[in-house]
Amino acid sequence: MTAAEDLPAAGGATSAAHAERIAGAAAARRRARPPLLAIRDVTKVFGRDVVALRGMTLDVRQGDFISLLGPSGCGKSTALKLISGLIHPTAGRIEWLGGASAQDGDLGVVFQEPTLMPWATVAQNVWLPMRLKGRSFAACRAEIDEALATVGLAGFEAAYPRELSGGMKMRVSIARALVTRPRLILMDEPFAALDEITRFKLNNDLLEMRAKLDCTVIFVTHSVFESVFLSDRIVVMAARPGRVIRELTVDEPYPRTEDFRTSADYAAHCRETSAALHEAMGDAPHDDH
Amino acid sequence: MTITEAARIEGAAAEAPLDPEELARQRRRRTEKVARWVLPALVLVLMLWGWNRLVVVNEIPHYILPGPGRVWDALMDNLGSLMGSWLITVQITLLALLVAVVGGVGLAVLFNQSKWASLSIYPYAVILQVTPIIAVAPLIFIYVDDVNLWLFTISDKIVGMLICAWIVAFFPVLSNTTLGLNSADHNLRDLFSIYGATRWQKLRYLQLPSALPYFLGGLRIAGGLSLIGAVVAEFVAGTGGVGSGLAFRILEANYRLKIDLAFAALLLIALTGVLIFAVLSLVSHLALRKWHESAVSRET
């Protein structure tokens, strides 16, 4: 039994047509993916009584693109920190499955800020995860160049971060996260500080990169539109205490292009997700109110 | 826009920009560039002239206030011996600065790595800093002794001077470097932890580079302070004969009413301070010009 099935809301509150789609072939394929990470009833309490996250359960399968969507204080970032091993659960378990582990280069992280070392060049920044494993720059050169080419920054190896625009810095940050070919990439609102045009472009490029690298992504965001465009699973979370209230699926095939952004299906998913988010924030956006 | 129109605008851009605002700005910038050097030079000339008039008009005797010409003569006449003293003062200053850097950075790293060491020692580092060196120096000279190193011996006077200069100079290095080590980006720290970095790797690749601009700021202050420390120590130590620095030459010249010589030595000390500051500023600029906001030039 998976998390998606545990949650009655996944199909219950929506249209019959949508429920059919969920039961469709895409969903079956998704469930057939091998498991990567199991989050089992995880609770994190800071201090004595600040419950940052309560009873979170989530099965992450290889190839998933999961968005954690919710208002501030819903425990999205806490969940990412727990998965990355920076903090440990007060209760519950987080297990890596299928031979993966956070320490063996199987995990890449992208923060809201580009978080680059200003004293190091673009190439040296991308080198970091491998440098910390004791590998020399020369030995990593090919991987660094490939990662930079993947994010569209070939030719900028020798530039310093201050010479780059916000979007380009974020691309360096993404290159650093994927240079070790991780099986899981955690992204904590990576595009929130960027302008809309850059953000759309990076969303498109991110899907392309993921298709090429075939990795799993957990993506934290505030944006309904971003979560629908990018992910095949959306975990809607509520605050005080932080908890999962609903899991939605976006059964639309990849690759997704600009056409998807303007399609009726996209609009329907956005409406549904938006309703779930309003529920998470404690106000129902019904017309009869 | 037609092709001819575009060509006309391009042609105009190739010539000098005609925007009057831009012209005025360029003129201002040029004037400022010249004024930066001319104005201080002008003030210097005026001051020397005024000084000279003051001495000549009031017929002030040279053993009270010598004129600038006399000071210059004293400097030239005693250049050989003054340079010898200058070398000694510079040696003490640079040695003290070196020890201050090693001690300051070493303590900062120790405090950063060990909370216990920081909690127990830091208050005493502050006390050492806030106690006026001039009050402590005489005591230091009572207790120091010759230091025998493997190849040579350092005399007690030199050791005392080094200790004085170090006490004055190490604190800005310590406190700035400590601040710098703690100022590393929090997300980067998290990233290092996620990638399983060791303590040493965090220090070497993250904290030390983060601390570099802060350290260099402290170094510039410490450079001036170690000169002050060296001069104060010399005054207290009162080394005579061979191995006496510029400060002692000032004392000696005062006793013998050779005020012109005292001024000449003072001039050398002041120039040395300026030189140290300039060199350290250059070092700082060279180290940071590639990436730090304080050293990079604005594009616009």
**pLDDT band per the 50, 70, 90 thresholds, residue A9:** very low
pLDDT by 10-residue block (mean), chain B, 300 residues: 52 63 88 92 95 93 91 93 92 91 94 92 89 88 82 81 87 93 92 92 95 94 92 78 77 90 94 94 90 67
- Mean pLDDT, rounded, of chain A: 84
Cβ separation B212–A119 shorter than 8 A? yes
Q: Which two tokens stand for residue B185?
A: 């980006």
B162-195 pLDDT, tens digit each: 888 888 899 999 999 999 999 999 999 999 999 9
If you search the block for the tokens 């006399």, which residue do you land on?
B70
If you search the block for the tokens 């990593």, which residue do you land on?
A140
Per-residue pLDDT at A3: 42
Per-residue pLDDT at A284: 47
Per-residue pLDDT at A14: 47
* Strand pairing report for A243-249 and A233-238: antiparallel
Contact partners, residue B179, CB within 8 Å, separation at least 6: B211, B214
**B16–chain A nearest CA distance, Å:** 28
ipTM of this complex = 0.83
Best mutation target among B186, B190, B195, B291 (most A Cβ atoms within 10 Å) is: B195
Q: Which residue of B has its CA nearest to A82?
A: B194
Nearest to B175 by CA among B136, B206, B219: B219
Per-residue pLDDT at A253: 81
**pLDDT band per the 50, 70, 90 thresholds, residue A5:** very low
* DSSP track, A104-147: TT-EEEE-SS----TTS-HHHHHHHHHHTTT--HHHHHHHHHHH
β-sheet bridge partners, residue A56: A42
Is the sign of the CA dihedral A79, A83, A86, A90 positive or negative? positive
Per-residue pLDDT at A12: 41
Q: Which residue of B has its CA nearest to A105?
A: B195
* DSSP track, A208-223: HHHHHHT-EEEEEES-
**pLDDT band per the 50, 70, 90 thresholds, residue A18:** low
CB A221 within 8 A of CB A190: no
Residues 169-198 of B with CB under 8 A from A: 185, 187-188, 190-197
Per-residue pLDDT at B208: 95
Question: Out of A115, A120, A162, whose CB is closest to B296?
Answer: A162
Per-residue pLDDT at A287: 42
Q: Which residue of B has its CA nearest to A180?
A: B195
CB pairs under 8 A between A and B: 52
B132 contact A CB<8A = no
A127-139 pLDDT, tens digit each: 999 999 999 999 9
Domain spanning B68-288: CATH superfamily: MetI-like (1.10.3720.10)
Q: Write down all domains in chain A, each with its CATH number in brackets.
A: 3-106+220-280 (3.40.50.300)
Cβ separation B194–A102 shorter than 8 A? yes
**pLDDT band per the 50, 70, 90 thresholds, residue A29:** low
Residues 137-176 of A with CB under 8 A from B: 160-162
* Strand pairing report for A184-188 and A91-96: unpaired
Mean local confidence (pLDDT), A167-192? 92
Cβ separation B209–A111 shorter than 8 A? no
Cα(A28)–Cα(A7) distance, integer angstroms: 16
CB A63 within 8 A of CB A214: yes
B240 contact A CB<8A = no
Q: What is the pTM of this model?
A: 0.81
Residues of A in contact with B216 (CB under 8 A): none
Q: Which two tokens stand for residue A190?
A: 């990576």
Per-residue pLDDT at A257: 81
Question: Out of B196, B290, B293, whose CB is closest to A132?
Answer: B196
A115 contact B CB<8A = yes
Q: Which two tokens stand for residue B268?
A: 């050398």
Among A20-29, A40-49, B51-60, the least confident range: A20-29
Question: Out of A109, A120, A162, whose CB is closest to B194?
Answer: A109
Question: Out of B188, B194, B296, whose CB is closest to A107?
Answer: B194
Per-residue pLDDT at A142: 93
Cα(A233)–Cα(A273) distance, integer angstroms: 11
Mean local confidence (pLDDT), A130-155? 92
B201 contact A CB<8A = yes
Q: Which residue of A has its CA nearest to B199?
A: A132
Best mutation target among A109, A117, A135 (most B Cβ atoms within 10 Å) is: A117
Per-residue pLDDT at B10: 55
| Domain ranges for chain B | 3-57, 68-288
